[in-house]
Structure 1
Amino acid sequence: MPERSLQAPKPSLVEKVLLRCAGQCAVCRAWSHQTVCGDCLQRYARPVPRCWTCAAHLPPALMGRPRPQCGRCLQRAPPLDRAVAALDYRFPWDGLLQHFKYHQALDLRESLLERMNSALNAADVDAPDWLLPVPLSDERLRERGYNQAHELAKALARRRGLRCEPELLLRVRHNAVQASLKLEARAANVRGVFAVEPLKAARLRGTSVALLDDVMTSGATLHELASVLLQAGVMSVQAWVIARTPEPGQE
């Protein structure tokens, strides 16, 4: 029988967050009054030029150009008038968001909200009439215990003085987790999944809506929701996300 190693396995980022003491940075463990310290924010949360309608990275030369768009959005306009991402979905934000999403780490909410609020201020977005979170199915809600997008949307709406009624949007069918699918299969996976609450649809007609989610990858979920809202009479739809996954070749 091979000899067992006495060396303990290195803890994952999630385990490190779980072990974090109050007053420590969740990333570097330095003592800090913030959940993520100023040094880590400077290192991992720098603003980058992004596409106006999908929030993908753009070349630095486009920084400052009005309403810059990537080639994909220029070829096929998405149903979003604007997309704003606060962060890149890479270290350390990928681990922190997973912990917030699957382990109810509400102590991370304020730090994530600060990043989102700062990104919105820098982007100079038009204030929407409604801020609505991406809804979860009942099955997924029972698995996780709460809707992370709902928690973020409620707090951000209070901070920015926006109306937030999550019940206006429904998830009418339980579907496979998007992260488990290839990019090309994700649009089909969310088709017909969402609806506007019929008894409250009149409240949305002629208004503007910002959808809030934690992570944007292919954009399929947000595009499907935007299409549903536009068909219900909404005039314009934005997408606000905490993090955007890198496009191929941007790693």
Structure 2
Amino acid sequence: MRCQPQSTHQVYIWLKNKQTCLLCDETTDALFPICTGCETDLPWLGDSCERCALPMPMAGLTCGQCQRQPPAFSEVVVPWGYDFPIDSLVTRFKHQAKWPMGRLLAQLLGQALQHRFAEGLARPDCLLPVPLASKRLRQRGYNQAEMLTRWLGTQLDLASDERLLLRVLETPAQQGLDAKARQSNLRKAFAISPGAQIKGKHFAVVDDVLTTGATVNTLSRLLMDGGARRVDIYCLARTPKPQD
């Protein structure tokens, strides 16, 4: 309708940054809709593998899997372990269309990335969401990785491309599969959009949760084989090893 404002225009102007914490419903004057107490209590990821961010007993270690078979990506940036309440927030965002939950998580991930950039992490040339299978996209109505990518791109002033990576083969859901089964499941599932310019570029692939890393490693290998200079992974949460 003509009377509806465009999505790019500012609709509300807040005179005071008073908002409600999405976790405890208490009023907060924090930058994002989460109070300081709840933010502090989030399951922040501690010591982890320097390559894939798998939780480890101490800092500065590389997990056995990354030593035996180095992944195609250079580094994983992830703020939290997949534990309460992050698991609940991700599930509500991903499967129940609770978009404010996802927006909050994206804002906090963006804040963590800004700190890492200030510490010397290389900024990527472009953000790429993990593509969703067409059937699942029709069922859900949206790709949560695509939404995270848009929010991060705006917050970090980074370019994004939602069509560079394509899902060309429908595969069964990855949930519940081990690493070997996931890798087999993903063979030939993805492709690069014809004519895409990737040679010499640094990309960051965006997803919600990293479990075995099979999906993002497949996409990273595809990009590196196509001439990309570097691929990093940005995601919200990291699980421990499935058998743990």
Report the TM-score when normalising by structure 1: 0.81
Following superposition, the deviation at residue 248 of structure 1 comes to 5.4
The answer to whether the Cα contact below 8 Å between 2:79 and 2:237 also exists between their aligned partners in 1 is yes
Change (3 A) 1:206 1:165: same
Letter in 2 for 1:105: K
Q: Tell me the distance in 1 between the aligned counterparts of 2:158 and 2:133.
A: 24
The answer to whether the Cα contact below 8 Å between 1:55 and 1:244 also exists between their aligned partners in 2 is yes
Residue correspondences, number? 222
1:59 equivalent in structure 2:
57
Following superposition, the deviation at residue 49 of structure 1 comes to 2.2
Matches within 5 A, 1:111-122: 111-122=104-115
Q: Tell me the distance in 1 between the aligned counterparts of 2:36 and 2:231.
A: 33
Q: Tell me the distance in 2 between the aligned counterparts of 1:91 and 1:240.
A: 20
2:33 equivalent in structure 1:
35
SS at match of 1:228: helix
Q: Tell me the distance in 1 between the aligned counterparts of 2:132 and 2:176.
A: 16
Change (3 A) 1:223 1:102: same
1:166 aligns to 2:176 (yes or no): no
Deviations along 1:78-100, whole A, 9 cap, x unmatched?
11111111211110011110110
1:99 equivalent in structure 2:
92
Following superposition, the deviation at residue 160 of structure 1 comes to 1.4
Q: Equivalent pairs: percent with the same residue? A: 34
1:44 equivalent in structure 2:
42
Q: Tell me the distance in 2 between the aligned counterparts of 1:49 and 1:249.
A: 19
Letter in 2 for 1:241: C
The answer to whether the Cα contact below 8 Å between 1:115 and 1:242 also exists between their aligned partners in 2 is no
Following superposition, the deviation at residue 40 of structure 1 comes to 1.4
Following superposition, the deviation at residue 28 of structure 1 comes to 3.2
SS at match of 1:117: helix
1:176 aligns to 2:183 (yes or no): no
Change (3 A) 1:38 1:249: farther
Unaligned runs of 5+ in 2: 1-17
SS at match of 1:44: coil
Q: Tell me the distance in 2 between the aligned counterparts of 1:74 and 1:184.
A: 17
The answer to whether the Cα contact below 8 Å between 2:56 and 2:63 also exists between their aligned partners in 1 is yes
The answer to whether the Cα contact below 8 Å between 1:133 and 1:166 also exists between their aligned partners in 2 is yes
1:12 equivalent in structure 2:
none
Match of 1:185 among 164, 168, 181: 181
- The 4+ residue runs of structure 1 with deviation greater than 4 A are none
Q: Tell me the distance in 1 between the aligned counterparts of 2:160 and 2:66.
A: 28
The answer to whether the Cα contact below 8 Å between 1:226 and 1:237 also exists between their aligned partners in 2 is yes
Deviations along 1:169-202, whole A, 9 cap, x unmatched?
10001111101323431111111101000132xx
Following superposition, the deviation at residue 45 of structure 1 comes to 4.1
SS at match of 2:199: coil
In proportion to residue count, which structure has more helix? 1
Q: Tell me the distance in 1 between the aligned counterparts of 2:26 and 2:64.
A: 41
1:142 aligns to 2:135 (yes or no): no
User: Is 23-32 or 132-141 further displaced after alignment?
Assistant: 23-32
The answer to whether the Cα contact below 8 Å between 1:80 and 1:236 also exists between their aligned partners in 2 is yes
Following superposition, the deviation at residue 241 of structure 1 comes to 0.6
Following superposition, the deviation at residue 127 of structure 1 comes to 0.5
Q: Tell me the distance in 1 between the aligned counterparts of 2:157 and 2:186.
A: 30
1:241 equivalent in structure 2:
235
